[in-house]
Chain A
Amino acid sequence: MPNRMLIAVVALAALAMVQTASGASYQPGEEGAICLGCHAEKGMTTTFRNGETLSLYVNDKELAGSVHKNLPCSVCHSGFSPDQHPKRQYKSKRNFTVVKAEACKQCHTFKKGIHVQMLGGLKDGVCVDCHGGHSVQSMKETSGDGCTGCHRYPVTMTFKDGTKHRLEVDENGLKASVHKKLRCADCHFGFSAKEHPERVFKDRRNFRIVAAETCRRCHFDKYTKTLEGIHFNLLLSGNLKAPVCIDCHGSHTISSGRHEKVRSAQRCEACHGEIYRTYSTSVHGKALISSHNQDVPVCSDCHRAHDLSDPHVADFRNNIPQMCSNCHANEDLMKRYGLSTAVLRSYLEDFHGVTITYYKKQKNSVRHIAVCTDCHGIHDITRTKGPDASVVKANLVKRCRKCHADAADNFPESWISHYEPDFKRAPLVYAVNLIYSVFIPFMIVGLVLQIILHIWRYAVNR
């Protein structure tokens, strides 16, 4: 049967191919077989002049997995052959390694490229330090996408201004980061074991600004927000100190900012140290730092994180009451601290509140109107009750005088606080409201009744 014949031939051919393939996996060669005859035995050692010993055992399995498996031993171990086995003396184990590594340069000449730059920072490093000796492998196979193969060492790059930058990546930090599942090339776009474009940056800052541009490839929403932010616009205007993504979030050790508020505030501290110190003495800052209170606002709660605007512009100022009320009009939140949620309403009902509401609607802010922060403080917000109360009050008249220049010392007392006027706190206001709440309905009902009676009489008389 010709069919059966054909199957048999194909099967045989396949078998042969498999055998060839497996046969090709390791062939020590004639020379290798002779060397391994002795060196595959454990226990053989050599002693250096400084007394260090080194095992001369060669793991044949390791050798079989290396990219050099088909090379005869003498290619690297020059001078050695089945006939010749010169006796050499080395100072130390390290000296031995350095001398042996010279052998690599017979084939791998590095006159330029990544290794030349890299080795600049690795003065004492030699090839085998990274690549191993008998076990030398393709970089691709040694470590994931091969980056940490080199970047776990303190390799450096040199900027145009002469400064050096360490390119060592802390693998543990990387594994603990929120990006642990990403591959290096996801951020370092265009880099791989094969492609490793050489880039030259002016200086470290320039490098970091360019590096941060990769973030937008995933976090485009945040990126578009930053376009409206003051930091981005400072950067555009030439202030290179303005922070980019990685300045606040870190790079390889990036973590989610949601979990620990104090860290979020500390990020801002890096540049805004003075403000952070003021904040840390405020009622909010104290609670955050001393008791890790997670209810209190940190910088980004008021200033926002990505689209943070210039706090000196009118729009920001006019929005402060709404900003504070994010928490201070929240019934559940305020209950925990025994604070009133009437603060926003009572402010908005007063002259200042009405004015500012209309300034926002009119879209023209004629002048500064007192908002929450003017009486309560900005970064140094203090409690209005307790020991600080008198300080708050004493400062109040100063603020009043900014607009009401002729305000007398007791002028702030005309503000009867954010509470509804009651009999105890403001008897006069309470009385006026009470009288009118009775008088107006009494009057109107009386007059309407008279009108009805009048019409009724007129109709009856007709």
Chain B
Amino acid sequence: MRGKERLKHEYITRFSRWRIIEHQANAIAFIVLVITGLSQKFHDSSLAEWIIINIGGIDKARLIHRYTGLVLLVLTLQHIVIASFGVIFRRWAPTMVINKKDFTDVIDNLKYYFGMTEWPARCDRFDYKQKFEYWGVVIGGVLMVLTGLILWFPTLVFRWMPFLPGQIIPAAKATHTNEAMLAFLVIVIWHIYNSVFSPEVFPLDTSIFTGKISKERMIHEHPIEYERLTGVSLEKPHHPAEGDEEGTGEGSQDIV
């Protein structure tokens, strides 16, 4: 018991300052975009009306939405560029790259949930849930930025790319509005559950604010990374997926 208590209060650094700032900036931009964007999508509802009127009108709401969209563009672009460089020049380990183990981890975890195995999947620095969200944010961000720009400058689309069919504009609108809905639902349901309401982190997973994670959670949620960082071999249960994943090498923790 005492050992376990100790683990709770010992922390391992998980995120660098820049990653924390990046998350917070992304979160704020996302919230602003959701408020101003969904109000436009559901423009008939009384809540949307209240929001838009209080923002100062539809034109202001659109202005805020578009400039916040620019913030998202910058955030997405810088992330892609920096992460690509980091991975290509071997400064960082490609810990976010989806690999075969992620799929077997899903199956293992489902088996665990159904009581077919005794232990959940043993994950590395980022488990498949986190990778799913990460790629959702990156791909969704690119999609939203691109379609958003098309909707912002519809005339330029035809000036620069006259070969495009006219329906590119309504198609961009359909993509933008649907992708927004998907992103909003995934964040509200999945991300908020995993970082707030999940019994493992409730009342809040603070690691993205403090940059630290307790040893207890580390051992529980990222055992492979823990082993790699500390060199300590955890008393681990027999696991079918074990050994599939070799140590990913560098062991840097400042990872995308």
Residues in chain A within 8 A of chain B (CB atoms)? 354-355, 357-359, 361-362, 364, 366, 404-408, 410-416, 421, 426-429, 432-433, 436, 439-440, 443-444, 447-448, 451, 453-458, 460
Contact = CB atoms under 8 A, between A and B. Distances in A.
B171 A428 contact: yes
A440 to B, nearest CB: 5
B165 A354 contact: no
A444 B184 CA distance: 11
Given A364-B57, A451-B190, A426 B154 contact: no
A411 B174 CA distance: 18
Nearest to A439: B182
A429 B167 contact: yes
B24 interface: no
B231 interface: no
B178 interface: yes
The list of the 7 closest CB pairs from A to B, nearest first, reads A413-B166, A436-B178, A358-B58, A414-B169, A408-B158, A453-B113, A428-B171
A408 B170 CA distance: 16
Interface string B193-204: 100001110000
B155 A366 contact: no
Nearest to B52: A358
Contact of A406 (B156, B167, B181): B156
A444 B188 CA distance: 10
Interface string B35-62: 0000010010000010011000111000
Given A357-B43, A455-B199, A408 B182 contact: no
A344 B154 CA distance: 23
A415 B58 CA distance: 21
B43 A426 contact: no
Contact of B58 (A354, A407, A428): A354
A433 B57 CA distance: 29
A416 B113 CA distance: 48
A424 B182 CA distance: 26
A415 B170 CA distance: 8
A413 B185 CA distance: 33
A392 B244 CA distance: 66
- How would you classify the secondary structure of chain A's contact residues: helix, strand, loop or mixed? helix
**Most A C-beta atoms less than 10 A away, residue of B114, B115, B165:** B165
Interface in B161-190: 162, 165-171, 174-175, 178-179, 181-182, 185-186, 189-190
A383 to B, nearest CB: 21
Report which residue of B165, B174, B189 has the largest number of chain A beta carbons within 10 angstroms of its beta carbon: B174
B159 interface: yes
Interface string B17-28: 000000000000
Interface of B: 40, 43, 49, 52-53, 57-59, 110, 112-115, 154-156, 158-159, 162, 165-171, 174-175, 178-179, 181-182, 185-186, 189-190, 193, 198-200
Contacts of B182: 436, 439-440, 443
Contacts of B43: 354, 357-358
Contacts of A362: 53, 57-58
B178 A433 contact: yes
Contact of B167 (A354, A408, A414, A444): A414
B178 A440 contact: yes
B114 to A, nearest CB: 8
Given A366-B59, A436-B179, A428 B186 contact: no
26 contacts: A354-B40, A357-B43, A358-B57, A362-B53, A366-B59, A406-B159, A410-B162, A411-B154, A412-B166, A413-B166, A414-B154, A414-B158, A414-B167, A416-B167, A421-B170, A428-B167, A429-B170, A433-B174, A436-B178, A440-B181, A440-B182, A447-B189, A453-B110, A454-B113, A454-B198, A456-B113
Nearest to A414: B169
B112 A416 contact: no
A49 to B, nearest CB: 93
Contact of B165 (A361, A428, A433, A458): A428
Given A404-B155, A408-B155, A416-B167, 20 more contacts: A361-B49, A364-B57, A404-B154, A406-B159, A407-B155, A408-B162, A413-B166, A414-B166, A414-B167, A414-B168, A414-B169, A426-B170, A428-B167, A428-B168, A429-B171, A436-B174, A443-B185, A448-B189, A451-B189, A455-B199
B171 A447 contact: no
Given A408-B162, A458-B200, A416 B178 contact: no
The CB with the most chain B CB atoms within 10 A, among A429, A433, A451, is that of: A429
B55 to A, nearest CB: 11
Of B165, B167, B175, which is in contact with the most chain A CB atoms at under 10 Å from its CB?
Answer: B167
Contacts of A358: 43, 52, 57-58
A361 B154 CA distance: 26
Contacts of A447: 186, 189-190
A457 B181 contact: no
A460 B199 CA distance: 13
A453 B116 CA distance: 13
A430 to B, nearest CB: 9
Given A362-B57, A410-B162, A458-B199, A440 B169 contact: no
Contact of B170 (A357, A414, A440, A457): A414
A428 B165 CA distance: 9
Contacts of A406: 155-156, 159
